[in-house]
Amino acid sequence: MEQYKFSNDEIQAVREQFIAPAIRTLENIAASQPEHGQYLTFAKNHLRLAFMELGFGSALNAGLDPLANKVKENK
């Protein structure tokens, strides 16, 4: 069984093409339907968390050492 290799480019594409537009869409829906604001806010927060977690995973994959607060090249 072949192991999946984490691809920063693929993850960035997911963030830009799917998650960011979904967040903007929910913001637009919330503006027009304030009676559902709480549930839409929860959904937006989950999407923002996914966006940030994927970004952090990409940074770790690129060589971020969070304990040293520096980036080193992974080889």
pLDDT single digits (tens) 22-75:
999 999 998 898 888 889 999 999 999 999 999 998 888 888 777 776 666 655
Structural domain of 14: 8-66
CA distance 37 to 43: 10
30 belongs to a structural domain: yes
61: tokens are 């994959």
58 belongs to a structural domain: yes
**Residue 65 pairs with which residues in a beta bridge?**
70
pTM equals: 0.78
55 belongs to a structural domain: yes
73 belongs to a structural domain: no
Handedness of CA 14, 48, 22, 16 (dihedral sign): negative
In single-letter form, the type of residue at position 52 comes to M
User: For the chain, how many structural domains are there in total?
Assistant: 1
CA distance 31 to 37: 8
